[in-house]
Structure 1
């Protein structure tokens, strides 16, 4: 479902936005080199690895550059 946006920072932009889709990749890195040692799927995370629980998308204002969660822009437009 589409929602109107309004930038909560510049308070004037209602039409120019960048939608940033977030796709988390769970990895285990070598502590000294930073090389990827192991890559996990959401089903096979080890007990010490917390799954990503952040937003699926973030929005960037095309005028001022603010990047926030989508709900911030939706709530500002509803006021």
Structure 2
């Protein structure tokens, strides 16, 4: 987090943000009850129909308007609209 941010939605906030660190947990649910049948650990092999999570590990939320997005979106907006 050494790059300046600018909210791509409200286009005014450069200072107040929430950093959301994601920790995905792979589970298999019972289709009838929704209860967890199996929880996979980091080293466990997923079954053939269970794709591993490949999304962003960190998301940013604008603390002014509430929009959530990937960090790159906030960095690019700040680069395209430098402070004068």
- Normalised to the residue count of structure 1, the TM-score between the two structures is 0.94
Q: Is the 8 A contact 1:22 1:56 kept in 2?
A: yes
Aligned residues: 79
Kindly report which structure 2 residues correspond to 1:1-79, keeping only aligned pairs within 5 A, or say none: 2-43=2-43, 44-79=45-80
Deviation, structure 1 residue 42: 4.1
**Where does the alignment leave 5 or more consecutive residues of structure 2 unmatched?**
none
Give me the whole-angstrom Cα distance separating, in 2, the residues matched to 1:23 and 1:41. Answer: 12
Report runs of 4+ in structure 1 exceeding 6 Å deviation.
none
Question: What is the RMSD computed on CA atoms of the aligned residues?
Answer: 1.0
Give me the whole-angstrom Cα distance separating, in 2, the residues matched to 1:40 and 1:47. Answer: 13
Give me the whole-angstrom Cα distance separating, in 1, the residues matched to 2:75 and 2:30. Answer: 40
- Normalised to the residue count of structure 2, the TM-score between the two structures is 0.89
